[in-house]
Amino acid sequence: MDEMSRKILELLQEDACLTPERIAVMLGQDAEVIQAEIERLERDRIVIGRKALINWERAGDEQVWAIIEVRVSPQRDVGFNSIANRIARFPETWSVYLLSGTYDLAVQVFGRTMREVASFVSEKLAPLEGVEGTTTHFLMKRYKDRGVVFEDLEVAERLPITP
């Protein structure tokens, strides 16, 4: 991957709202060149989505999140892929990761109530063929997500005017 593409990706990862024109100014490039490259990155599914990061707790919306450890028996020929993709197709799942270590898949699930999340796990997730067991961890508090600190931490301020 060339330097310019990498820089475009780093900028978009930090702020998905950046327009090609803005990025072009920042990188000292032509807007058309940047536009074309961003379209290419989207076509190739390297830039897969642009989503706002919301602090729902602050919005007063009680969403329930959980991280489910899923132990899976890999299937002949396809390993974990088949079961992982199956789980990913559920709209209730936010993320599905294959991990090294004591369990296999980490699945983030959300719902309106704990009961809803628990029902999803017991009725739809756990019974899947290939799933050997699950452990549900409910998310109590989000401190940092996607590189952004959610709390208002004390930040040292500069003097407003200095020579």
Partner 1 sequence: MKGYPAPSSAPAARERLSERVRGIAPSGIRKFFDLIATMDGVISLGVGEPDFTTPWHIREAAIYSLERGYTMYTSNHGLPELRQAISQHLATRYGLEYDWRSELLVTVGVSEGLDITVRAILDPGDEVIVPDPGYVSYAPCVALAGGVVVPVPTHEADDFRVQARAIEAAVTPRTKAILIGYPNNPTGAVMGRDDLAAIARIAEEHDLLVLSDEIYDRLTYVGEHTCFAALPGMRERTVLLGGFSKAYAMTGWRVGYVAAPPDVLAGAVKIHQYTALCAPMMGQKAAVEALRRGEPDVAAMVEEYDRRRRVIVKGLRDVGLPCFEPKGAFYAFPSIAPTGLGDEEFAEQLLVEEKVAVVPGSAFGACGRGHVRCCYATSMPKIEEALERIGRFVSRRVAAGRG
In contact, 80 and 88? CB cutoff 8 Å? no
- The residue written with tokens 């961003």 in the block is 38
The answer to whether 153 contacts partner 1 (rule: CB under 8 A) is: no
The answer to whether 1 contacts partner 1 (rule: CB under 8 A) is: no
- The residue written with tokens 């004390």 in the block is 154
Q: How far is the CB of 160 from partner 1 (least distance, A)?
A: 4
Q: How far is the CB of 162 from partner 1 (least distance, A)?
A: 4
In contact, 99 and 40? CB cutoff 8 Å? no
Q: How far is the CB of 47 from partner 1 (least distance, A)?
A: 19
Q: Residue 129 — φ and ψ, nearest 5°?
A: -65, 130
Round to whole Å and give the CA distance between 107 and 68.
Answer: 5
Q: How far is the CB of 26 from partner 1 (least distance, A)?
A: 4
The answer to whether 147 contacts partner 1 (rule: CB under 8 A) is: no
1 vs 161 by CB, closer to partner 1 = 161
The answer to whether 5 contacts partner 1 (rule: CB under 8 A) is: no
Round to whole Å and give the CA distance between 44 and 32.
Answer: 18
Round to whole Å and give the CA distance between 57 and 48.
Answer: 26
> According to CB under 8 A, which one of 9, 12, 27, 41 is a site residue for partner 1?
27
In contact, 111 and 94? CB cutoff 8 Å? no
> According to CB under 8 A, which one of 49, 60, 91, 163 is a site residue for partner 1?
163
Q: How far is the CB of 45 from partner 1 (least distance, A)?
A: 26
28 vs 147 by CB, closer to partner 1 = 28
- The residue written with tokens 């409910």 in the block is 138
The answer to whether 26 contacts partner 1 (rule: CB under 8 A) is: yes
Which parts of this chain interact with partner 1 (CB under 8 A)?
15, 22, 25-28, 156, 158-163
